[in-house]
Structure 1
Amino acid sequence: MTNSLKLKFWLALVLLVVAATSSILWATTIYMGQKYFAQQQESLFRAGEKLSEYVVAERDLGKIYHQMEIMGSYLNANISLVDPQGRILICSGREGIPRSSCQMWAADMIPQELVKNLLAGKKVAVRVESKLLKQDVLFTGVPVVFQGRVLFAILLQAPVREISGNFFELIKINILSTIIGVILATILAFWLSISITKPLIQIKTAAQKIANKDFSHRISYQGKDELGDIAQTINQMAAQLEKYIDAYQKREQNRREFLANVSHELRTPLTIIQGYTEALLDGMADDAKISEEYLKNILIEAERLKTMANELLDLASIEEGREKLKLENIDLAEFAEECINTFKNQFSEKGINLELEIRVREGKVIGDRNKLFRVIENLLSNALKYTPSGGKVKLAVLEREKDFQIITSDTGPGIPEKDLGKIFERFYKVDKARSSKGFGLGLAITKSIVEAHGGKIYAQNNPEGGANFMVILPKLPPSGDNGLPNGQ
């Protein structure tokens, strides 16, 4: 198919060039032929007129004959001088025609009616067939007029073959040039066919790759023409499809992991509940105190299941946008102090120093106060959980040109490098020891809340030890626009 396309395109270009060149050559040949014969005829007329002037000025036939010989040799033509009675007085000789045969030669070539027109004072030009020379002859005649009387007539005859000889040489040169031009055009057409079909072939290959679900293939052609636009569009389409497919596959992977994680998280509390319930039903807890203990354990596990269900519902509603944010202007400095006051007792009980750093001028953001409080709560609870007694946790609020940073840092063990990129995923737990009391949903919920506010969240390890969590929230719009919906 590729070769067929190249061949068809190449043949089409070659045929177009040959047809155009042949038409131009044919039209040029006809035009140049007519122009050339007209020029030759005009040359014979001018020569005849000059010779006519010479005859009037010079009455010596010998000198006239000599001049006719010179001019005839120059023009490659036969020249005759005819008197008013139509008799040839002098004729210049031609190769193969002796002067003694002038009368026979003239009778063979010169139509008598044209001689009469000449003697009547008219110039004549005609193409006649010579039986003697067995070829066509261009015949021209000029009258010799003196004081209004026709004294003689100058007759000039040039064989068409010899006139055409130079013209045909020119035609040969034109034909040779045309052949060379066609050859060069053929080579150029072949190059053009390759250059034009190459992007088409690349486009076809890319389409086949996309049809075969290979979205990584890209077209290398980057021309500034329509084909380049098509190639760029297909590349963009492939990139978008690749992006969508990757996102779809990631969602499917997350869905499978989610189901697996939910099943895993449900299995432990359900197993515990089942075990205690069966024990109670089998009468294994005869003592009231033991029965009460079993029931308390069942209640604890039921509460855990309820907590997990609520967290899953919260996460889903935030991610899907079903839970509307109750937006208001929030002063970050005051908000951070409220959070510190809420959690300082918990940190004091564990012997952890909780610090607050505020470096803002007018730190206001638009947000849902309760949701942002949950963000700080999750981050501080996470720091409290993994920071040992005697350690330090700091909450910092920093202002930048276009946004604010809320940073929690601790002096705990930090986060393994391999887990840094995954800790915000649902149900992700670094290890059993660090996550024995949770479901791995807290940071996922935190990330969803931050993104719902148009912000971002990052995690990194401190070089000195411990972990940093950085929340970035955009500033309020300028010019007093609080960015809130009407009525807020």
Structure 2
Amino acid sequence: SIFDGSSVVTVMDKNLIHQQVKLINKISHKDTEAYSYETTCPTKGAQWRLYGEKLENGKFAMLEIPIESIENTLDIVEKFFSYLVLLSVVIAGIFSVILSRNIAKPVAELNEIAREMGRLNFNKKYLGKRNDEIGQLGQTLNDLTTRLEHTINELQRELDKEKQLDVLRKSFIAQVSHELQTPLSVINGYIEALEDDLVDTEEEKKYYYEIIEDEASKMSKMIRELLDLSQLEAGTFRMQREPLDVTSLLDEISHKYEKIAQAKDIKWHYKNMKEKVMIMADVVRIEQAFTNIITNAFKHTEEKGQIKVLTFLRNDQLHLVIENEGDSIPEEELGHIWESFYKAQTSSGKAGTGLGLAIASNIFKVHQIEYRAYNTDNGVGFELIMDCLSPRNG
């Protein structure tokens, strides 16, 4: 026999087996049999599991294992699996917490950002630094909130501008109605006087007719300006642009306004380029724009005041500067004086319909001429910058 402390291997004949053991039960599986038995070896009442194979010499090789050893092994295996299950539950719980922190919390944060976007609150941003899909989604939400905020702000500005324009339009219509009503009232009054033969001499009649004609001309001019402005703003006004000697045009305009300045007791200071400078322009419309700027300067220059008109070349561009002594324009209104239907208010209380400058600005835009208004130490200035066909001449 061979005994290793837990099992015994013996070689004996079959009869000897049955004489020294008490059979408890028999286990059969296919051609194999195993026995549970009780023996006095190594101690009385010991139970063993026996497995035997018949050898070639007719004897049997037997493997005997104590049942107590098997049960101990099963207990150990059962405890091992119990501990393994418990450990698995603990590990699963830990992973659940980790996943909750790494996935559930960021997802909840992204959901909150989306809710705030629905309330048009774009201040909440995703601040995570993840490089996975959640991080990409957070960055996408950030980009989306930025674009939405920008778009909504732009729409709000446009809405505010439309509201402001509507207010200005109503104010302008009221002012134009007043401006038209004034000459109409004068014309009606003089016509009634003529119809009722309230005018005695031919000289008085001639004077009345001159007044009527003058007032009618003012109305006609205002209506033409309104039509021009409407076409310019709608982009339906046709321009016939061609090479134009702008220095010669300015000389002609200066000659006309020099006499007006003398009549109004205003100092006229004019300094133009001596050489010819060519630009591409519609001569009628560009003269109209220049005239509107200069007329505006006369309107806001007091008696004994001065108007300066000068030109100079810089970087192949002609600069035209028109400055007048008089009231300044409030800084917050400087950017608005070019707008359609804008009624500018000067510090002295003088007001204008805004037609002349609105028409001029639209003509400058079509000709791609840069323009700006600014306050000087003792008045207001306008600067126009035009691209030349060549640095010196055409």
Give the TM-score category using the shorter length: 0.7 to 0.9
Give 1 or 2: higher strand fraction: 2
Q: Which structure features the higher share of helix residues?
A: 1
| 3-state SS of 1:405 partner | strand
The reply on whether 1:315 has 2:200 as its aligned counterpart is no
Distance, in Å, in 1 between the alignment partners of 2:16 and 2:375 is 124
Q: Which residue of 1 aligns with 2:125?
A: 221
Letter in structure 2 aligned against 1:445: I
Q: Quote the residue 2:242 is aligned against.
A: 328
Aligned residues: 362
* Letter matched to residue 253 of structure 1: V
Cα distance change on mapping 1:220 and 1:397 into 2, 3 Å: farther
Among 63, 67, 77, which residue is 1:154 paired with? 63
2:304 alignment counterpart: 389
* 1:349-407 per-position Cα deviation (integer Å, ceiling 9, x unaligned): 546242225499x9554322221122222222333441643735132234247x55322
TM-score of the pair, normalised by structure 1:
0.61
Aligned match of 1:80: 8
Equivalent-residue separation in structure 2 for 1:339 and 1:108 (angstroms): 136
Report the RMSD for the aligned CA atoms in angstroms.
Answer: 4.3
SS in 1 for 2:321: strand
2:364 is aligned, of 447, 450, 454, to 450
Relative to structure 1, the CA distance from residue 330 to residue 179 in structure 2 (aligned partners, 3 Å threshold; closer, same or farther) is same
Where does structure 1 lack aligned partners over 5 or more consecutive residues?
1-60, 73-78, 90-101, 119-125, 131-138, 207-216, 483-488
Name the residue aligned to 1:241: 155
Contact 1:81-1:88 at 8 Å conserved across structures: no
Distance 1:387 1:379, change over 3 A: farther
When residues 303 and 195 of structure 1 are mapped into structure 2, their CA distance, relative to the original with a 3 A threshold, is same
SS of the equivalent of 2:119 reads helix
Structure 1 counterpart SS, 2:70: strand
Q: Secondary structure at the match of 2:281?
A: strand
Offset at residue 316 of structure 1 (A): 1.3
Give distance in 1, aligned partners of 2:184 and 2:76: 118
Contact 2:305 2:326 in 1 (8 A): no
Q: Matches of 2:183 and 2:145 in 1, distance apart?
A: 57
How many Å separate the matches in 2 of 1:152 and 1:174?
44
Which of 72, 80, 88 is the equivalent residue of 1:166? 80
Work out the percentage of aligned pairs sharing the same amino acid: 21
Judge conservation of contact 2:225–2:355 (CA < 8 Å) in 1: yes
Which amino acid is 1:158 matched to? I
Deviation per residue, 1:46-81 (Å, 9 max, x gap): xxxxxxxxxxxxxxx5xx43xx22xx3xxxxxx233
- Is contact 1:347-1:353 (8 Å) kept? yes
Aligned ranges 1:98-137 → 2 under 5 Å = 103-104=21-22, 107-108=23-24, 111=27
- Could you tell me how far 1:468 is from its partner in structure 2? 0.8
Equivalent residue in structure 1 for 2:285, among 371, 388, 397: 371
Query: Alpha-carbon deviation of 1:197?
Result: 0.8
Give unmatched runs, 5+ long, in structure 2. Answer: 38-48, 127-134
8 Å CA contact retained: 1:332, 1:365? yes
SS in 1 for 2:13: coil
